[in-house]
Chain A
Amino acid sequence: MRLLPSLGIGFGFCVAALAQGVNGVDPKDLLHPPPDSWLTYHGDYSGRRHTSLTEITPENVGQLKQVWRFQTGRNPSIKATPILVNGILYITTPDNLWAIDARTAKELWHYEHPKNDAFHIGHRGAAVYKDTVYLTTPDCHLVALNAKDGTVKWNIVIADSSKGYWSSNAPLIVGNHVLVGISGDFDNLPGQLKSIDADTGKTQWIFYTTPPPGGTEPESGGATGGQMWMTGTYDPLLNLVYVGSGNPTPVLNGKVRPGDNPWTCSIIALNPDTGKLVWGFQVSPHDTHDWDASEVPVLVDADFNGEPRKLLLQASRNGYFFVLDRTNGKNLLTAPYATVNWAKGIDTTGRPIPNPAKEPSKDGVLIAPNESGATNYRSPSFDPKTGMLIVSVQDGYGIYFFKPEHGTYGWAGADYGVAGRAFLRAIDYKTGKTIWDHPIGDGAGTAGVLTTDTGVTFSGDVPGNLMAFRTSDGATLWHAAIGKVGNGPITYRLDGKQYLVVGGGSSLYAFALP
């Protein structure tokens, strides 16, 4: 434990930090993460990616200077959110995890998982519990590493990658549960979220979005899929974990899986102790366009229609913005926030009604959004002062084809992106209306979003700039050409100074005021 010299750090925190031991995270800290840390993928359980640190302001953000750069020395770009625990940063790419001294950017240790032939599309990040760091791998292992030196404590298989599963997931830690999600929609596989005992590596429960092999539940209408590959959020008072589920399979052939296909393309509330479904809300009933509802379910306590409510916000890949009452999953608002042409209306429960004429066809249909969606894995941020959810949006079009010859397995169809335009878009949570819109290039962005209490928004553009915007109106305040920002920037205070840490290309950068 390093003693932190800053006067800005209160006595209370020092005591709490000492209690953690050398490298560890007390699971109780996850409920109130100290400002000298970024303990989880989203920074805290709410998924708001908003900081209370106030050193960096709209007035001085233009003076930010690069403090260090850590190069992984590998080709894959960083798509992970780093985690900061007691002055140590943990950053991942597929099969790799580095522990870095946050003061010097020196590598403390590096874990490399054995070579494997599973999908290496990207990796979202690590998780830390007590003195253990967890890494999911493309071949669906969960590896528990000693935070001190990166030695393996245990290594378990969470799914069979030879069947077509892979994992890019940053686990969510709730109590002693390590919640890990899995991907895989090139094969007809049921979606599963697993809870693993943080200490022993034993499976505590598995939640399936579609019936497991040999299952008899008819509800899914014959659909498989519904993978939960993104990190969820958690409300400790309600003791509910919220996670978004992916698209049904076969992906474009909806004819062989009639009905709504629950719980694919849904926002799901689970009891983390039992893995039991408490409620579900389907944002895309009977999806035929690959629009995962995996985007972050952002938890906000705020007024809605004049009443204080426990809200859940999601800007979903299908182009619609949803506000739910997170105590019971009831819909409060559904509104398009991007270009959409696939629904014929909203049903009485707030779900878009898919237009059958916009299902993939033999001669092709022109669809907005395109397959990569109105947004995707890139995390949004909620700014409580302005009530805006700030989202990296794509307005785009694709053409979708299906004919019986495409079959009933995996993709079962063909689709092609036509064109897209990328924006950073500020959405009013009360109405779903756009407050401001900042063009960031052609195609789709890759950067997540971070907002600060002082009114600065950090994100990145398509060509490869890290950018700072004024939260109130989206005006550009600062930029640095560090390459494509692959996920959400984070911020924390270390030795009394506020840092901004972000991945650009295959490097991690730290910025601070002079």
Chain B
Amino acid sequence: MNLTTKISVVTLIAAGIAIAQAPAGPAQSRTLAPGESPASLPPPKTVTQQTYPAEQVQAGEGRFTSQCGFCHGRDAAGGETGPDLTRSALVAQDTRGDKIGPLLKTGRPDRGMPSFDLTTAEVGALVAFIHAQKTKFETLGGGRRAVDVTDLATGKADAGRRYFNRKGSCAGCHSPTGDLAGIASRYRGLQLLQRMLYPSGQPAPAPPKVTFTLPEGRTVIAPLAIQDEFTISVLDPAGARQTYARSAVKFKINDPMSAHFDQLGKYTDKDMHDVYAYLETLK
């Protein structure tokens, strides 16, 4: 990140105009509300069946071990910080590296995945290994570190509903007939539990909203892109990042995630399983 040195601080007025021109809807629809995408049921099935020569898979295994294994596990079924690739929606949709290849090139810096400088043959070998592992785990009936939907069915939906409405104060922001209607049809099992605890993953939850107060008192709202102690970046209507020195603008950030984070310190394990059971009823 090199925001402070790369991007000069645009004047507040220019910013105000740029953002003010944005109809509220389109500015936010770029980052889409939860639930716009179809459900991805774990583990997603490979869309286009594909096979690879054994020696390519073997070459990929070595490379995967050395460059990917620490985060994704040596068997690609998840590791210290990286997700289980045998249950990844992207891998399921990949055909001969058309999705995995570009991702390796760019990485996912926002989620800690570095970019990789690999030859076509090296990418091909990695792709072969990942697909081979996925096929293997599908045949085995789930990854060995898998968490199945039935594993999570220990809570009581009634108690979960009470917690949702009272102690948990979830109802202050969410509604079973509004944003959460059909949530259990869109997400299941571990994915539903993870999104309940702290929304993340795909589709990405709506980013926090930044409300700028312009010198004349007018306010402008824009979705947050990234921030640090010195700068704040928001998305303009064209989807480009606009970066400001924090000291040069007056703003407030409304981050609904902070309530989710605080709640993590309040749940008992029973509460967590109960609320999950309640959400499971919202099909």
Confirm or deny: B21 has a beta carbon within 8 angstroms of a beta carbon on chain A: no
Give the size category of A's interface with B: 35 or more
Confirm or deny: B168 has a beta carbon within 8 angstroms of a beta carbon on chain A: no
CB <8 Å contact, A366 and B272: yes
* Bound: A372/B71 CA distance, A: 12
Chain B, Cβ-Cβ closest to A290: B80
Q: Which chain B residues in 154-200 approach chain A with CB under 8 Å?
A: 154-155, 190, 193-194, 197-198, 200
CB <8 Å contact, A481 and B5: yes
* Bound: A5/B115 CA distance, A: 44
* Bound: A419/B228 CA distance, A: 18
The residues of A that contact B145 with a CB separation of less than 8 Å are: 406, 411, 413-414
The residues of B that contact A307 with a CB separation of less than 8 Å are: none
CB <8 Å contact, A479 and B229: yes
The residues of A that contact B272 with a CB separation of less than 8 Å are: 364, 366
Confirm or deny: B253 has a beta carbon within 8 angstroms of a beta carbon on chain A: no
Number of interface residues of B (CB under 8 A): 52
Q: Which chain A residues in 128-173 approach chain B with CB under 8 Å?
A: 138
The residues of B that contact A472 with a CB separation of less than 8 Å are: none
Q: How far is the CB of A426 from chain B (nearest CB, A)?
A: 17
Residue in B65, B152, B193, B260 whose beta carbon sits within 8 Å of that of A117 in the complex:
B65
Q: Which chain A residues in 383-432 approach chain B with CB under 8 Å?
A: 397, 399, 401, 403, 405-407, 411, 413-414, 416-419, 421
CB <8 Å contact, A465 and B229: yes
Confirm or deny: A344 has a beta carbon within 8 angstroms of a beta carbon on chain B: no
Mark the stretch among A118-126, A278-286, A325-333 that contacts chain B.
A118-126
Chain A, Cβ-Cβ closest to B71: A121
CB <8 Å contact, B80 and A483: no
The residues of B that contact A421 with a CB separation of less than 8 Å are: 261
The residues of A that contact B144 with a CB separation of less than 8 Å are: 405-407
Q: Which chain B residues in 76-114 approach chain A with CB under 8 Å?
A: 78-81, 112, 114
CB <8 Å contact, B197 and A465: no
Q: Which chain B residues in 105-150 approach chain A with CB under 8 Å?
A: 112, 114-117, 144-147
* Bound: A364/B148 CA distance, A: 11
The residues of B that contact A364 with a CB separation of less than 8 Å are: 147, 151-152, 193, 269, 272-273
Confirm or deny: B265 has a beta carbon within 8 angstroms of a beta carbon on chain A: yes
Confirm or deny: B73 has a beta carbon within 8 angstroms of a beta carbon on chain A: yes
Chain A, Cβ-Cβ closest to B258: A421
Confirm or deny: B54 has a beta carbon within 8 angstroms of a beta carbon on chain A: no
* Bound: A421/B198 CA distance, A: 13
Confirm or deny: B1 has a beta carbon within 8 angstroms of a beta carbon on chain A: yes
The residues of B that contact A479 with a CB separation of less than 8 Å are: 4, 229-230
Q: Which chain B residues in 218-234 approach chain A with CB under 8 Å?
A: 226-230
CB <8 Å contact, A401 and B147: yes
Confirm or deny: B35 has a beta carbon within 8 angstroms of a beta carbon on chain A: no
CB <8 Å contact, A465 and B65: no
Confirm or deny: A371 has a beta carbon within 8 angstroms of a beta carbon on chain B: yes
Chain A, Cβ-Cβ closest to B143: A414
Q: How far is the CB of A348 from chain B (nearest CB, A)?
A: 28
Q: Contacts A118-B66, A372-B80, A406-B144 known; A397 to B264 CB distance under 8 Å?
A: yes
* Bound: A399/B264 CA distance, A: 11
Q: Contacts A366-B267, A401-B151, A481-B5 known; A116 to B229 CB distance under 8 Å?
A: no
The residues of A that contact B1 with a CB separation of less than 8 Å are: 463-465, 481, 483
The residues of B that contact A465 with a CB separation of less than 8 Å are: 1, 4, 228-230
Jot down 9 A-B pairs with beta carbons below 8 A, ordered by A.
A77-B114, A117-B63, A364-B147, A397-B264, A416-B190, A419-B264, A421-B261, A441-B228, A483-B2
